[in-house]
Amino acid sequence: MTSASPRDTELDVVGLGNALVDVIAPTTEAFLDEHGLHKGSMSLVDTDQAQRLYDAMGQAVEVSGGSAANTLAGIASFGGRAGFIGRVRDDQLGAVFAHDIRAAGVAFPIPPASEGLPTGRCLVAVTPDAQRTMSTLLGAAAQLGPEDVDEDLVAGAAICYLEGYLFEQPAARAAFDKAAAVAHGAGRKVALTLSDSFCVERSPDGFRDLVERTVDVLFGNEDELRALYATTSTEEALEHAQRWCDLIVVTRGAAGSTVVSGANRHDVAAAPVDRVVDTTGAGDLFAAGFLHGLTSGRDLPVCARLGSMAAAEVISHLGARPESSLAEIAGSVLD
Amino acid sequence: MTSASPRDTELDVVGLGNALVDVIAPTTEAFLDEHGLHKGSMSLVDTDQAQRLYDAMGQAVEVSGGSAANTLAGIASFGGRAGFIGRVRDDQLGAVFAHDIRAAGVAFPIPPASEGLPTGRCLVAVTPDAQRTMSTLLGAAAQLGPEDVDEDLVAGAAICYLEGYLFEQPAARAAFDKAAAVAHGAGRKVALTLSDSFCVERSPDGFRDLVERTVDVLFGNEDELRALYATTSTEEALEHAQRWCDLIVVTRGAAGSTVVSGANRHDVAAAPVDRVVDTTGAGDLFAAGFLHGLTSGRDLPVCARLGSMAAAEVISHLGARPESSLAEIAGSVLD
């Protein structure tokens, strides 16, 4: 991973993802049943469905979200250099998203669209067990295309990080291809998060093709990896993925994580958490810590520990972005 | 206060107030100095000032706010019947405000405006000492006028509650006069919160005139009462106000509250709080508990204890509306 050294780059990580504002409300288990929601998953909804769900939800809190955007905000909180590529409209939620990602210290050079769909939002139902179930109205986020891929931004970043949720949009697939080509052309690495097993199951061939053609660093949980190779065995899925990716990072919730790099395998415990309030952003922040470690030249087990630590911070409060400085929390891990 | 009995009313309390979405961010003391903000106060800002402040603020959380709206949400959380009169635009923040107040169980029959200023917002800077300093861009909220006062709603509520912050707007003053006339015509009571000492200092004559003409129940902290009668003595201000109001409720922060009704005076201790996170909404929720007690026929010291309890809940977390059922928490006070 010498090309991931920060010395010859403008940024550590540039990410392509959905620009979304999260609308978070506590709900009951019955709410999920009534609305046919599968706990822990992300579903795309249309405007009418979103309105029905929102009408039925209790008082909510709005906070900027988006999976890759959360990861980049986490990298910035560690002191890393991050940039984001995603689409918002020139509306109130778009202004909220743009403000928050810039306030987090992430470069976001994409101007808001002056026409088209409104800024996307993600209705997050948090059940008493702290699980999050997401219903996403993509809006402007779904209109990300290759024309939004700033080539200099991508070429100047050690790692180009792709958000799997975006992969269902044909224009975004073209944006992924362009970004990956620019990154590899500049000697950079391409990373992908599989995002959601249902998402992978809807396009397993497309995801495998993307992984096998362009992905150097693959992030996923066990369900997502198994969905990618249509198998019930995580180990079998890992064997497949290893043939194509330099590095595979498997998150296992409370059981920690596994990092596979060629013949080397590291199993790393999860960081302790006093009280899990809302698991939204756990995977996003794990990726933040891991990528920050990687672009700072840390050993793989240290990268995984940084990931666990960042995930532990984000699940201890409502919302998917860190509330405390990850750089400060990281001190104990890195010393 | 026999007219405040719930038996012959549709609602316990109807409130007129600013319909605002709070934009809450943790800030430093230096941030207040740099931007000339007076800690603990509310200032009105124009669009440019609001943009400058917002650009300088860190990552924020958006939650519905507005002083009287918070009070009404609190009353509903106690199980009381509340209605709100205030103005939003038909934009994204307006939809957030309307959703949240209805989801809280408060009647909000005013349709969003299809033209005019965008929905108002309140930038809330929370310093490490948990104090909130507010910069409000009123937007559509400032356009509330007498035409928005639903006479049936007001006539059917035991108490009509007026938010002092609104008083700087001439059209809102006319709305206050109309609402007070309707309430008194129906044999109801009129309550007012003085809201902010700077606000009172900008129009002391107007506020005194309002209090002396129409207010039965007056809420304020010591600074606000002293500003009302341009005196340095809270006792002297109380003596003045007593000549005009049936009931005066003085909040004193950690020192509790004082209720004056004719010759009777009750000093009530504050409810204990483990950890004060954000004082936004403390006064609003005190008023909620007090008004709920009053409209349920409770004795004045019990009303004050319900107020303290609701204030204690809201200052233990970020945001100005209750996160726990106040009806459940109230059990111990009322039994």
Tens digit of each residue's pLDDT (9 = 90 or more) over A68-89: 999 999 999 999 999 999 999 9
Query: Which residue from A61, A93, A321 is facing B63, i.e. has the nearest CB?
Result: A61
Taking contacts as CB-CB distances below 8 angstroms, the residues of chain A near B53 are none
Number of domains comprising chain A: 1
Mean predicted confidence (pLDDT) in A170-181: 97
pLDDT of A300 above 70: yes
CA-to-CA distance for B129 and B131, rounded, in angstroms?
6
B119 contact A CB<8A: yes
Q: What is the pLDDT of residue B9?
A: 87
Q: Residue type for A2, please?
A: T
pLDDT of A2 above 60: no
Taking contacts as CB-CB distances below 8 angstroms, the residues of chain B near A319 are 61
With tokens 């709080």, the residue in question is B273
With tokens 């415990």, the residue in question is A269
Given a contact cutoff of 8 angstroms between Cβ atoms, the answer to whether B51 and B141 are in contact is no
pLDDT of A335 above 80: no
Residue B102 lies in a domain: yes
B325 contact A CB<8A: no
Burial A79-105 (b: 16+ CB within 10 A, else e): ebbbbbbbbbbbbbbbbbbbbbbebbb
Strands (E), A138-197: 157-163, 189-193
Q: Do A92 and B59 touch (CB under 8 A)?
A: no
Q: What is the pLDDT of residue B331?
A: 84
The residue among A59, A122, A278 with the most chain B CBs within 10 A of its CB, best to mutate, is A59
Q: What is the pLDDT of residue B275?
A: 87
Q: Residue type for B171, please?
A: A
Given a contact cutoff of 8 angstroms between Cβ atoms, the answer to whether B288 and B312 are in contact is no
Q: What is the pLDDT of residue A182?
A: 98
List, for residues A11-51, the tens digit of each pLDDT value: 999 999 999 999 999 999 999 999 999 998 899 999 999 99
Given a contact cutoff of 8 angstroms between Cβ atoms, the answer to whether B87 and B148 are in contact is yes
Q: What is the pLDDT of residue B274?
A: 87
Residue A147 lies in a domain: yes
Q: What is the pLDDT of residue A333?
A: 66
At A317, the pLDDT band (50, 70, 90 cuts) reads: confident
Q: What is the pLDDT of residue B3?
A: 43
Burial A228-261 (b: 16+ CB within 10 A, else e): bbeeeebeebbebbbeebebbbbbeeeebbbbbb
| % residues pLDDT > 90 (chain A) | 87
Instruction: Give strand pairing partners of B251.
Output: B221, B257
Residue B244 lies in a domain: yes
B57 contact A CB<8A: yes
3-state secondary structure A276-297: CCCCCCHHHHHHHHHHHHHHCC
Query: Which residue from B61, B73, B118 is facing A63, i.e. has the nearest CB?
Result: B61
* Better pLDDT: A115 or A333: A115
The residue among B63, B92, B318 with the most chain A CBs within 10 A of its CB, best to mutate, is B92
A269 contact B CB<8A: no
Taking contacts as CB-CB distances below 8 angstroms, the residues of chain B near A100 are 59-60
* Better pLDDT: A326 or A331: A326
Residue A133 lies in a domain: no
Taking contacts as CB-CB distances below 8 angstroms, the residues of chain A near B63 are 61-62
Residue A154 lies in a domain: yes
CA-to-CA distance for B305 and A312, rounded, in angstroms?
38
Q: What is the pLDDT of residue A6?
A: 43
User: Helices B67-77 & B326-334, crossing angle to 10 degrees?
Assistant: 70
Q: Do A92 and B119 touch (CB under 8 A)?
A: yes
Which tokens go with B69?
């709206």
Taking contacts as CB-CB distances below 8 angstroms, the residues of chain A near B100 are 59-60
Residue B41 lies in a domain: no
**Around Cβ B209, how many Cβ atoms within 10 Å?**
12
The residue among B28, B59, B126, B278 with the most chain A CBs within 10 A of its CB, best to mutate, is B59
List the single residue in B with minimal CA-CA distance to A62: B62
What pTM value is reported for the model? 0.91
Residue A46 lies in a domain: no
Q: Do B92 and A55 touch (CB under 8 A)?
A: no
CA distance B34 to chain A (A): 17
A93 contact B CB<8A: yes
Query: Which residue from A59, A100, A321 is facing B321, i.e. has the nearest CB?
Result: A59
List the single residue in A with minimal CA-CA distance to B92: A92
A275 contact B CB<8A: no
pLDDT of A5 above 80: no
Q: Do A93 and B92 touch (CB under 8 A)?
A: yes
CA distance A26 to chain B (A): 10
Q: Do B96 and A58 touch (CB under 8 A)?
A: no
Q: What CATH number corresponds to the domain at position B301?
A: 3.40.1190.20
Taking contacts as CB-CB distances below 8 angstroms, the residues of chain B near A59 are 64, 73, 100, 103-104, 321
Q: Domain of B317?
A: 2-19+65-119+139-326
Residue B42 lies in a domain: no
pLDDT 10s per residue in chain B (335 long)?
Answer: 444 444 478 999 999 999 999 999 999 999 999 999 999 889 999 999 999 999 999 999 999 999 999 999 999 999 999 999 999 999 999 999 999 999 999 999 999 999 999 999 999 999 999 899 999 999 999 999 999 999 999 999 999 999 999 998 999 999 999 999 999 999 999 999 999 999 999 999 999 999 999 999 999 999 999 999 999 999 999 999 999 999 999 999 989 999 999 999 999 999 999 888 888 899 999 999 999 999 999 999 999 999 999 999 999 988 899 988 999 989 876 66
